[in-house]
Amino acid sequence: MAGSDAPEALADVIDADTGEGELERTIGLVGGLAIGVGTMIGAGIFVFPGLAAENAGPAAALSFAIGAVVALLVALPASELATAMPRSGGGYFFISRGLGTAPGAVVGIGLWLGLVFASAFYLVGLGSYAGQVFLEAGIALPVDPAIPLGVAFGVGLTVLSLFGTENTASLQNAIVISLLVILTLFLSYGSLDALGVFGAERVPERFFPPGGLLSVLQTAALVFTSYLGFAQVATVAGDITDPSRNLPLAMVGSVLLVGVFYVVTIFVATSAFGSARLGEFGEIAMVEVARSFVGFPGALAIVVAGLLATFSSANASILSASRAVYAVSRDGIIPEAASRLNLRYGTPHVALGLAGGPIVVLAATGQVELLAEVASFLHLVMYGLICVGLIQLRRESPSWYDPSFRCPAGLAVAGVGALASFALIAFMRPASIGVGVAVMIAAYGWYRYYATDVELKGDF
Amino acid sequence: MTETPTDDREPTETGADSEAGGESEGRPSVLVPIEVLEGESLPSGTSALLANAHVVLCGYHVIPEQTAAEQAREQFGETAMSKLDEFAGALAAGGADVETRLVFTHDKDTTIDRLIYEHDCLAVLVPNSTERVESVLVALRGTVGVGRNTRLVAGLFADADVDVTLYHALNEGESPEDGESFLSGVRSDLVERGVDPEALETVVEDADVPIDTIADRAASHDAVVMGETDPSVTTFVFGMPSEQVADRFLGPVLVVQRARPEE
């Protein structure tokens, strides 16, 4: 990694004491990877396989691979920007400083709401797995418990983040590591089984769905929510140790890691069942896949893993949403009151409320696919602009821009990354695009109303 | 970093000390961690205890992970800094030479560790209060790193009219004579460094559980000086011996740090 020994010039300046104390960076490489992987893996493995297979058949593996490539094309430029500006706020920070206040405001408010949509989506997934616990225990419920449970978890997590002052970083690391162990075992077994090692070789389905490449791309747009987590690493950039080395490694590494897991998962799932059958299972398709391999213990392991994974995704996204609120409020794009902390718990109660409240409302709608696509839409706009920002900064090359990691073939990667990000949006359903555009227009309107006098370009 | 003005007194260290590090103008560096916004104030007796030290006063504020460190600094930085300056003033008035650091952190241990390293501190104070500083218990484990203990004790208490009790619990396979000769070596080192021989006392004991005996003996003293211990399963389960002693003794404990490897 180029320049990993270079002095953390900007990071040092920000952390240093300016009469009000210095800042300690406490998240290392493992912590950064855990944030990225922990946020992403809940969706791609535990929520999407059934839905994706229904839409694209075994070629859903290709959809996930496309998502990974797009994410990588953005993760590399984002890494460069993050090492140049290792501050809280991630993509919002890069865009507001690189491109100016107006795009910054749209992205900042979009990032907050994008994470709100993503959290709501994870919560519905979490609710599905929690509901599955009742089914496995043989308790019949009169209604589908997924949505009420998701809402309950949403309220619970918000309250927990308001008052819980225990640092759960090491717990998060442990959860992610146990998830990876369970999944590695499960997917190794599943792959061997799919290849016919344990008995009759299964007859593979036709790879491409009836809809052809279009279905694959539409599915890629749908499941892109599974790749939103790498940007969450950038939202805590201000807390990452040795940012010039750890930020790029954590962002790129987590995308590669989950990408491989997703592709193998689809391969295993579509080998075990036909795509139509997987679609019927819906969010909890992986539970049935595990059951078909090793019966009840397998199903139970996946239910537990699914609970952990969707829980950690939802939790990480709520916290990131509150960080996004802080970042825009610090800059005066929304009233400063939004970033107040309470002295007793040290938590940003207003920002957490602004995240948790809408999340609970959206989770109550239970519109899994819409929530996922709107979340992806808002993130993809930010990703595209991150790439544009990189091109702009490389061209202008302002004196403060001194990244310690330089994206190889930066302009080309960023150019393709921007095009790919915006192109993926085109394959979403009209309803999702409509909601996404409405959010962006509202964000821009707010900027015109409230924050036209804020100048952020190149401001540190 | 704020340098708090101190009085013009010459450093009290008398014995020439050629060993580098851990000292500023001959004064032993002691890290005093204070959780500055949690209503924690400077425990009484601290300025008397550290009158001859170079104090690195580390105000820290632990923030939950929901909160960005920057966010906390923005809101609490000024209040915390003014409180810290107040404590620094009290220490300086007692005679110490004070440097302050204020850190917003998600992890207290990382911060304290880093500061010990950056300032090359000889010891860390577990800040508990004491009414007076007239007698100090110095628990010594063995010859390894004992020089750091003697530098600290001589630096802090040589001219301070404080009784120093050197205590050694016998290690396995060690005879009482070995223990005596170890302590008498330490004793003469201290005398050479300017500690009044009259103020020194030595105790060698065969203790089943040294932690218990140290904590019991500490009750009749005003402060304890002891070394840090390598982390192990036992320290993970029961906590560091110095923490255990501090919890039971309830008075100030100076934990002497091992020499840090050069970077």
Say what the pLDDT of residue A19 is.
Answer: 67
Of A343-347, A410-414, B163-167, least confident by mean pLDDT is A343-347
Architecture of the domain delimited by A27-398+414-450: Up-down Bundle (1.20)
In terms of average pLDDT, the best of A168-177, A206-215, A353-362, B65-74 is A353-362
Q: Do B104 and A14 touch (CB under 8 A)?
A: no
Say what the pLDDT of residue A200 is.
Answer: 56
Would you say residue A206 has pLDDT above 80? no
Identify the residue among B34, B71, B110, B115 best suited for mutation to test binding to A, counting A beta carbons within 10 A and taking the highest.
B71
Q: Do B107 and A345 touch (CB under 8 A)?
A: no
Give kind and range of the element (H or E) at residue A354: helix A349-365
Segments of chain B with pLDDT less than 70: 1-25, 230-239, 261-263
Q: Do A24 and B103 touch (CB under 8 A)?
A: yes
Q: Write the CB contacts of A1 (distance below 8 Å, at least 6 apart in sequence).
A: A244, A245, A248, A249, A405
Q: Do B101 and A22 touch (CB under 8 A)?
A: yes
Extract the runs of DSSP E, i.e. beta strands, from A291-440: none
User: Which domains occur in chain B, in start order?
Assistant: 2-10+21-125 (3.40.50.620), 135-256 (3.40.50.620)
Separation in Å, CA of B39 to nearest CA in chain A? 11
Q: Do B105 and A14 touch (CB under 8 A)?
A: no
Average pLDDT, rounded, for chain A: 87
Say what the pLDDT of residue B13 is.
Answer: 36
pLDDT band, residue A430 (cuts 50/70/90): very high
CA dist., res. A150 & res. A368, Å (int):
11
Interface A–B counts its CB contacts (< 8 A) at 102
Q: Do B68 and A19 touch (CB under 8 A)?
A: no
In terms of phi and psi (left: phi > 0; alpha: psi -120 to 50; beta: otherwise), the region of B59 is beta
CA dihedral A210, A216, A217, A221 (to 10 degrees): 120
Within 8 A of A19 by CB-CB distance, chain B residues are 77, 81
Q: Is B69 on the interface with A (CB under 8 A)?
A: yes
CA dist., res. B82 & res. A460, Å (int):
25
Which of B67, B77, B103 shows the shortest C-beta gap to A348? B67
User: What is the per-residue pLDDT across A236-266, written as a single tens digit (0 to 9) for each?
Assistant: 888 888 888 999 999 999 999 999 999 999 9
Q: Write the CB contacts of B10 (distance below 8 Å, at least 6 apart in sequence).
A: none
Amino acid code (one letter) for B249: F
User: What is the per-residue pLDDT across A272-331, written as a single tens digit (0 to 9) for each?
Assistant: 888 888 888 888 889 999 998 888 998 999 999 999 999 889 988 888 888 889 889 989
Read off the pLDDT of each residue in A414-424 and give the average, rounded to a whole number.
96
Instruction: Let me know: does A97 contact A460? Beta carbons within 8 Å.
Output: yes
Say what the pLDDT of residue A371 is.
Answer: 92
User: What is the per-residue pLDDT across A294-309, written as a single tens digit (0 to 9) for each?
Assistant: 889 989 999 999 999 9
Task: Please name the residue of chain A whose CA is at the shortest distance from the CA of residue B111.
Answer: A24
Read off the pLDDT of each residue in A347-353 and give the average, rounded to a whole number.
89
In terms of phi and psi (left: phi > 0; alpha: psi -120 to 50; beta: otherwise), the region of A159 is alpha
Pairing between strand B97-105 and B2-3?
antiparallel
Q: Write the CB contacts of A234 (distance below 8 Å, at least 6 apart in sequence).
A: A78, A81, A82, A90, A91, A94, A247, A251
Q: Do B105 and A26 touch (CB under 8 A)?
A: yes
Within 8 A of A87 by CB-CB distance, chain B residues are 70
Within 8 A of B81 by CB-CB distance, chain A residues are 19-21
Pairing between strand B97-105 and B163-169?
unpaired
pLDDT band, residue A1 (cuts 50/70/90): very low
Q: Is B119 on the interface with A (CB under 8 A)?
A: no
User: What is the per-residue pLDDT across B134-151, written as a single tens digit (0 to 9) for each?
Assistant: 999 999 988 887 899 999
Separation in Å, CA of B71 to nearest CA in chain A? 7
Distances (CA, A) of B140 to B29, B185, B188, B226, B239: 19, 12, 15, 7, 19
pLDDT band, residue A17 (cuts 50/70/90): low
Separation in Å, CA of A151 to nearest CA in chain B? 21
ipTM above 0.85, yes or no: no
**Two tokens at B27?**
């004064």
**Two tokens at A1?**
């990694």
Q: Is A87 on the interface with B (CB under 8 A)?
A: yes
